[in-house]
Homo-oligomer: A and B are copies of this chain.
Amino acid sequence: MMADLYVGLVHYPVYNKNMDIIASSVTNLDIHDIARACRTYDVKKYYIIHPLDAQKELIKKIIGFWQTGYGYRYNPDRFEALNRVCWKNSLESVTEEIKAITEKNPYIVGTDAGTWPNMVSYGFLRAKLKDDRPILLLFGTGSGIEKQTMEKFDYILEPIYGREYNHLSVRSAVAIILDRILGETWWEK
């Protein structure tokens, strides 16, 4: 038995480099790379969270290319990955959808390069996946999710430390974190 994991990429409210609160742009590659990682680790849905309806149309256009005609024939695998991608206009509407799907209240888990009072380890989250509550794992774009929003989350996952300062793209961070919490236990071999 494993709880269902959901991933959300937050485009609003996030900080820009000057720590202003903005809505960041959706990018083609964030959709593809993260969808493929979600497919690899059997994440149930990958939500792209952006307040503007126009971004919904862009996402539909990008996904549509791979789900019909030439794109589908060229790479049918991509269809499988992109099938899990879904636009929502707010964090609230994501949690509402997960509640409707699972009939359970999801744990909301943030990720960040900094440390927080409710910070938890990767081992803690691996164990939490054996609970019967779904988990919504959130990643920020830009310079990270706005502080007051972060403070409402149930847990914040420990940073990826690496060997030096963390320079990872959000795409690489998602891949590493999914591997740490859902990957095979390669260290036991």
CB distance from A185 to the nearest CB of B (A): 8
Interface presence of A146 (CB below 8 A): no
Within A130-178, the residues touching B (CB, 8 Å) are: 158, 160-169, 171-176
Within A1-58, the residues touching B (CB, 8 Å) are: 29, 32-33, 36-37, 39-42
Which residue from chain B places its CB closest to the CB of A121 in the assembled complex?
Answer: B189
Copies in the assembly, this chain? 2
B33–A162 touching, CB < 8 Å:
no
Task: Determine the chain B residues whose CB is within 8 A of the CB of A187 once the complex forms.
Answer: 122-123, 185, 187
Which residue from chain B places its CB closest to the CB of A80 in the assembled complex?
Answer: B167
Task: Determine the chain B residues whose CB is within 8 A of the CB of A40 once the complex forms.
Answer: 160, 162-168, 172
Query: Which one, B33, B162, B184, contacts A172 given CB within 8 A?
Result: B33
CB distance from A4 to the nearest CB of B (A): 12
Interface residues contributed by chain A, number (CB under 8 Å) = 41
CB distance from A57 to the nearest CB of B (A): 23
Which residue from chain B places its CB closest to the CB of A126 in the assembled complex?
Answer: B187
Interface presence of A180 (CB below 8 A): yes
Task: Determine the chain B residues whose CB is within 8 A of the CB of A39 once the complex forms.
Answer: 164-165, 167
CB distance from A111 to the nearest CB of B (A): 14
Interface presence of A114 (CB below 8 A): no
Using CB atoms and an 8 Å cutoff, list the residues of chain A in contact with chain B: 29, 32-33, 36-37, 39-42, 77, 80-81, 121-123, 158, 160-169, 171-176, 179-180, 182-187, 189
A-B contact pairs, 10 of them (CB 8 A): A32-B169, A33-B171, A33-B172, A39-B167, A77-B165, A81-B167, A162-B184, A171-B171, A171-B175, A185-B187
